[in-house]
Amino acid sequence: MKQKLPLLIVLVLGIFFTIQFFVPSRASEVTYQTTLQWWLVMSSFAMVLALGSLINHHALKIKRRKEGWWNSWVTLAGIAVMGGLGILGGPSFRMGWANDAYTRLFLFVQAPMDSAMFAILAFYMASASYRAFRARSREATVLLVSGFVVMLGIIPFGAMLWHRIPDIAEWVMMVPNMASKRGILFGIGLGATATALKIILGIERSWLGGGGK
C-alpha cells in the first residue's frame, strides 16, 4: 500500500492533467484551478520541510563534531538572524527596524559576498582559456576561430575593426550554434517525455526512494 498508493496517484493525475491541457471545458478549468491552489499549499509545506531538514542536518553535524562542524554554526546563525528579522519585518509584525536591518544585511553583506564569489570565476576562466585554447587540431582551430569571432562581435572594438564582424558573430550563434543546440534539445525533449511516461506508468520508481526497489 505504501508503494501502490503514490503510484496510483501519479498514474491518475499524470493521465488526467495530460488530457486536461487539451480540454477547454469549464469543468476541466475549475479542476485545474483547484489543483493549483492545492499545489500552492503543498509548496508552503515543502518549504517548512526543507528548512527543518537543513536545520536537522547542521545540528547533527555539530553534535557529531564532523569535519567543518563550526561552519554549521554560521549557517544556523544565518538562518536564525535573517529568518528572525524577516518574520519581524514582514507583513505579520511590520517592525520597521527589523525590515531595515534585514534589507541592509542582504544588500550590504550577502549581495557583495555572492557577487565577489561569482566574479572570482572570471580570473580562473581567463587563466584556463589562456592555457587550454590552443590550435592543436583541426577541430580545436575551428573552435578557436569561432570563439575569436564571437568575442570580437560582442565588443564594440570588433565593429570598429570591420563593421560586418557583429553580423558574422550573430550568424555563428544563430545558425551553426543553434543547429547543434536544436539537435541536443530534441534529444532532451524526447528523453524527458519518455521519462515522464515511465514515471506515470510506474516503470520508473526511483522517485519513491529506496533505489527503485
Partner 1 sequence: MKFLIALSKIDRRVVYLLLALAVVVPMIVSFNVRFHVDRSTRDLFEAVDRIPPGGQPLMLVFDYDPQIMPELDPMATAILRHCFARGIRVVGVTTGAQGAALGERAMARAAAEHGKRIGEDYCYFGYKLFLSMIYFGENARRALPVDHYGRPFDSLPMMRGIRNYDDIPLVIDLAGSSILNSWIVYMGARYHVRLGAGVTAVMAPDFYQFLQTGQLAGQLSGMKGAAEYEQLVVERGYAPAKGLASRAMNAISASHLLLIALIVMGNVGYFAARRAKPKNPQGGA
Q: Which residues bind partner 1 (CB under 8 A)?
A: 21, 29, 32-33, 36-37, 39-40, 43-44, 91, 94, 102-103, 106-107, 110-115, 117-119, 122-123, 126-127, 129-131, 133-136, 144, 148, 151-152, 154-157, 159, 166, 170, 173-174, 177-178, 181-182, 185
Distances from the Cα of 133 to the Cα of 137, 145, 180, angstroms? 11, 10, 21
Closer to partner 1 by CB, 70 or 124: give it: 124
Residues in contact with 59: Cβ distance below 8 Å, sequence separation at least 6, in sequence order: 72, 76
Considering the complex, what minimum distance in angstroms separates the CB of residue 193 from partner 1? Answer: 13
Report the residue number, 3 or 115, with the smaller CB distance to partner 1.
Answer: 115
Of all helices (H) and strands (E), which one includes residue 147?
helix 138-154
When the beta carbons of 64 and 180 are compared against partner 1, the nearer one is 180
Residue that is written with C-alpha cell 536545520 in the block:
55
Q: What is the closest distance, in whole angstroms, from the C-beta atom of residue 54 to partner 1 in the complex?
A: 14
Minimal distance, residue 130 CB to partner 1, in Å: 4
The DSSP element (H or E) to which 198 belongs, if any, is helix 176-200
